[in-house]
Chains A and B, each alone.
Chain A
Amino acid sequence: MSRVRLQGLTRRFGSVTAVDDVWLDVADGELLVLLGPSGCGKSTLLRMIAGLLPPTAGRVLLDDTDVTTVPPQRRDVAMVFQSYALYPHLSVAGNIGFPLRARRRSRADIRRKVTEVAGALDLSALLDRKPRELSGGQRQRVALGRALVRDPGAFLMDEPLSNLDARLRATTRAEIAELHRALGATIVYVTHDQVEAMTMATRVAVLDQGRVEQAGTPAEVYDEPASVFVATFLGAPAMNIVPATVVATDGGLTVRATDLDLPLGIDATTPGRDVLLGVRPEHLTLTGEPGIRAVVTAVENLGGDEVAHCRAGTHTLAVRGPRPLRLAAGDRVGLTARPEHLHLFDPGTGGRLVWRTADIATPERNFA
């Protein structure tokens, strides 16, 4: 297995910059998820790692070899495509064996390897079928098998689960995670599904407009989002974002907006500073002594949980908690959140703000 390094990788299409100066280091055996909305450049980035698309600038390194100009057939990486891209004229065995035939391995060698991989993926009974005779989940496993059979340095996966139904997606997700553990494989995995990212990744790189907004463990990107974009992209419902001001009061620093007054738990003084306050729906709790005075506008039932949409001043806030929340539209509620669950962002750049030391007068921007 290999280490994959991207150094300043950039791709422009005409005047559009699809991937903008991406630096990532995928360690040997890591499962890195490239996460972002459609059009964020994650698939373009993957195609550049594969060698299917030449970068405008930057380098791709496999272990210590610069493979930027090496064509895909001579890079030691395998790819699983969103559409599976199975060869319709070949049987399952033919599809799985295809990369080996391209490498002119002996027939006996190919047969042995195909049997082995098919066994591992529970495809042994289907080896003579054509792709069109397979279910979606089976096709997906054949596509996986075709990648596995090569023993590549790294696997690239482009939204491999997006064509499966919800139940199958959950089981296949677990299978891929298991495969990753068993093989110790280096995997770069593209998805727009935050659940896949949170559950499978050893590290997540969140992309927006071709740039890496944040790269870190799933817990890091969820608990300490580096920007408003990352904060709102992860989590369901999305993190509440409210324009507010940090002011100094008798009890220390407080963040304030209309009908909102939450202590930051920092004993210091500061001149007033405009911020964006972020707080996750599950971190807002109902309380008697209001930090936030709100009116419930609607309640959604998610099964185990309920989400109450509330209005505070001119802002809407989502509150998530175990069902029943015992709220109804029109109720007046008081809400609060613990200081460690309050996120502050710069209104101009969207970057995360952290309080560094007591003697610095203003909170400082910090990019993770």
Chain B
Amino acid sequence: MTTDTRLRRITGHVVLTVLSIACAFPIYWLYATSLRAPGDVHSLTILPWPLSTANYAAAFANNDVARMLANTAIVALLSAAGQLLVGLLAAYAFAAWTFPLRRTLYLMFVGTWLVPFQATMLPNYVLLARLGLLETLAGVIIPNLCSALGVLLLREHLAGFPKELLDAARMDGRSSWNILWTVVVPVIRPALAALGILLVITAWNEYFWPAMVLQRGNAVVQLGLRSFMGTEGNDWGPLMATAGLACLPVFVLYLVLQRHIVQAFVRSGLK
């Protein structure tokens, strides 16, 4: 190995090390702070000592954290499931069927992606108010049941689906609806799983829309964080503890399904 390539390798490692510390440190600091004794919250020691779970106790005492986590999970899973189902049906129609105005309809569908959230939030809010769905989880979920991203990604994926496989299934006696569930879904399961994970994480992290719909209660965990921020100052310890709990499911999901998640992000970038 020449000095030149060795130098390049070392530089590369240094840059990557610095970047990963920059990314990981805030998360480490979050958990470190949450585990300090209530008096040490503003301490700047790298290692929290003595360890204390007092902040977690305070978080649970102040809010129904378990309930909020459960609500967040319901919102994330239902909206992700809805987006997957709508995306799958729309993408299948666009990819496997030929019908008049197919291209136009598809572009319109995907075009909704370009409409900024700020433009739709007020009409959606008014509609929910009329329907009496404010302050309910349904109000958080229903406007998010369809995502252009899901349709776009699944359609691009299905466009590469071997047409002969669909033809074969038709010859073998399946109806179009049957083909979707007995052939298409099993074959593209990895893509569906990857997209599903991406959608769950996005929905889990959503703050703004739940904050609009659920103004009085603290029904999802991201809003629960607000209760520790007051005019007299922030209650950092329980705040960090709750934030740490809010991040946990995403980290667990990530650790278990790492390969799928990386694939999901790569797909959404490339295809």
Residues on A with C-beta less than 8 A from B183 are 87
0 or 1 for each of A58-98: is its CB under 8 Å from B? (1 = yes): 00000000000001111001110111010111100000001
Binds A, one of B54-62, B163-171, B224-232: B163-171
The 8 A CB mask of B146-190 against A (1 = contact, 0 = none) is 000000000000000010110111111111001000010011010
Contact A102 B172 (CB under 8 A): yes
Q: Which of B162, B165, B172, B186 interacts with A99 by CB under 8 Å?
A: B172
B165 near A73: Cβ-Cβ < 8 Å? no
Known: A83-B162, A85-B162, A102-B178. A72 touches B186 (CB 8 A): no
| Among candidates B167, B173, B187, B189, residue contacting A87 with C-beta atoms closer than 8 Å | B187
Q: Which of A71, A103, A146 is in CB contact (< 8 Å) with B170?
A: A71
The reply on A52 being an interface residue by CB < 8 A is: yes
Instruction: Tell me whether A103 and B187 are in contact in the complex, defined as CB-CB below 8 angstroms, given that A82-B164, A85-B164 are known contacts.
Output: no
Assembled-state Cα–Cα distance A85/B221 (Å): 48
Does the CB pair B187–A73 fall under 8 Å? no
Given contacts A85-B162, A88-B187, A89-B186, are A103 and B168 in contact (CB under 8 A)? no
From residue A84, how far is it (CB to closest CB) to chain B in Å?
8
Inside 8 A of A88's CB, which chain B residues have their CB? Answer: 187
Determine the interface band of chain A, counting residues with CB < 8 A from chain B. Answer: 20 to 34
Q: Given B167, B171, B186, which contacts A77 in the complex, CB threshold below 8 Å?
A: B171
Q: Measuring CB to CB, which residues of chain B are less than 8 angstroms from any residue of chain A?
A: 162, 164-165, 167-175, 178, 183, 186-187, 189
Known: A82-B164, A85-B165, A85-B167. A146 touches B187 (CB 8 A): no
Please report the C-alpha to C-alpha distance between residue A98 and residue B172 in the assembled complex, in whole angstroms.
7
CB distance from B193 to the nearest CB of A (A): 14
Taking CB atoms and an 8 Å cut-off, the chain A residues in 154-203 that contact chain B are: none
Contacts of A74 in B (CB 8 A): 173
Name the interface residues of A140-154: CB closer than 8 Å to any CB of B. 146, 150
Other A-B contacts than A79-B168, A85-B167, A102-B173, 4 sampled, CB-CB below 8 A, are A73-B173, A74-B173, A98-B172, A99-B171
Instruction: Tell me how many residue pairs across A and B have CB atoms closer than 8 Å.
Output: 59
For the residues of B in contact with A, the DSSP-based class is helix
| Separation of A103 and B173 alpha carbons in the complex (Å) | 7
From A79, A83, A90, give the contact of B171 (CB < 8 A): A79
Distance of A103 Cα from B162 Cα, bound (Å) = 23
Q: How far is the CB of B176 from chain A (nearest CB, A)?
A: 9
A81 and B170: CB pair below 8 A? no
Let me know if A231 is at the binding interface, CB within 8 A: no
A50 at the A/B interface (Cβ < 8 Å)?
Answer: yes
Query: Which residues of chain B are within 8 angstroms of A150 by Cβ–Cβ distance?
Result: 172
Which of the residues B162, B167, B173, B174 comes within 8 Å of A52, measured between beta carbons? B167
- Residues of B contacting A87 in the complex (Cβ-Cβ under 8 angstroms): 165, 168-169, 183, 186-187
- How far is B51's CA from A153's CA once the two chains are assembled, in angstroms? 78
CB distance from B37 to the nearest CB of A (A): 54
B96 to chain A, nearest CB (A): 12
Can you report 5 A-B residue pairs in the complex whose CB atoms are below 8 A from each other?
A52-B170, A71-B170, A79-B167, A82-B164, A89-B187
Which one of B162, B172, B189 has the highest number of Cβ atoms from chain A below 10 Å of its Cβ?
B172
Kindly provide the distance from the CB of B59 to the nearest chain A CB, expressed in whole angstroms: 45
With a cutoff of 8 Å between Cβ atoms, the chain B residues found around residue A51 in the complex are 170
Distance A50 CA – B169 CA, assembled complex (angstroms): 12
A102 to B174, CA, bound (A): 6
Q: How far is the CA of A103 from the CA of B172 in the complex (A)?
A: 9
**Distance from B142 Cβ to chain A, minimum over Cβ atoms (Å):** 33
**In the bound complex, CA of A73 to CA of B170 (Å):** 5
Whole-angstrom CA separation of A71 from B176 in the bound complex: 11
Bound state CA distance, A98 and B169, in angstroms?
8
Minimal beta-carbon separation of B160 from chain A (angstroms):
13
Please report which residues of chain A, range 91-126, place their CB below 8 angstroms from some CB of chain B when the two chains form the complex: 98-99, 102-103
In order of increasing CB-CB distance, the 10 nearest A-B pairs are A102-B173, A85-B168, A99-B172, A85-B164, A89-B186, A73-B173, A72-B170, A79-B171, A81-B164, A102-B174
